[in-house]
Amino acid sequence: MKTKIREFRKEQKITQEELAAIVDVTRQTINSLEQGKYNPSLELAYKITKALNKDKIEDVFIMD
């Protein structure tokens, strides 16, 4: 599973720490997700999608 979090986060011009605050997780969680280190919960994936102003979870998280 890959993600476009980093790409979209930069479009929004926010830092990992800011995104983390918005979706209420730690910066390390965002950092790990950007690097595809694991599989988030659905709720977190949803919050991140919203925070990045994307319509669908699938726009941000690309499943293999």
Partner DNA sequence: CCAATATGTAAAAAATATATTACATTTAGT
Partner DNA sequence: ACTAAATGTAATATATTTTTTACATATTGG
Helix (H) or strand (E) holding 62: strand 61-62
- Structure tokens of 39? 């599989």
Q: Is 64 exposed, middle or buried (0-12, 13-18, 19+ CB in 10 A)?
A: exposed
56 binds, among DNA, a second copy, none (CB under 5 to 8 A by kind): a second copy
- CB closer to a second copy, 14 vs 44: 44
Between residue 5 and residue 64, which ones bind DNA under the rule CB under 7 A? 15-17, 24-29, 31-35, 38-41, 44
Residues at the contact surface with a second copy, assessed by CB under 8 A: 1, 39-46, 56-58, 61, 63
**Which residue carries 């499943």 as its tokens?**
63
State in angstroms the smallest separation of the CB of 29 from a second copy: 13
